[in-house]
Amino acid sequence: MILSIIVLTLLLILLLTFIGFWLPLINPNSEKLSPYECGFDPLGSARLPFSMRFFLIAILFLLFDLEIALLLPTPWAVHHPSPLAMFIWAITIIIMLTLGLIYEWFQGGLEWAE
């Protein structure tokens, strides 16, 4: 039963992947290949420069947001059979992220202006 579900899933994945690659190749013309910008011809470049500093700060924000998401269940560790193990895991996560923050700080990734 499980083997048939796995085979059916793989066949469906292959079929959808093949259709996804095959459909765009049916009728490529100049209209389909031209950039579309709200019905108007694009006036400038579609590629805007992106600040690498902003990107690094955003990634750090996501990292610490993930840290909070991982640490939110910690108060319920009291009901776990081994609350000490849960506490050790929480401290390990905090130490790892603190070391990463210190490394980023010393590398100068947190400085907005040079």
Contact status, residue 64 vs residue 97, Cβ threshold 8 Å: yes
Q: Which neighbouring-strand residues pair with 43?
A: none
Q: How many domains are contained in the chain?
A: 1
Question: Is 86 among the domain residues?
Answer: yes
Q: Examine residue 31 and state whether it is found in any structural domain, yes or no.
A: no
Residue 111 clears pLDDT 90, i.e. is over it: no
Q: Residue 97: inside a domain, yes or no?
A: yes
What number of CA atoms fall less than 13 Å from residue 49's CA on the CB side? Answer: 2
CATH number at residue 58: 1.20.58.1610
User: Rounded to an integer, what distance in angstroms lies between the CA atom of residue 22 and that of residue 41?
Assistant: 28
The pLDDT score that the predictor gives to residue 47 is: 66
**Three-state DSSP state, 19:** helix
What's the pTM? 0.48
Q: What's the one-letter identity of residue 48?
A: L
**pLDDT score of 41:** 60
Tokens of 57: 């700060």
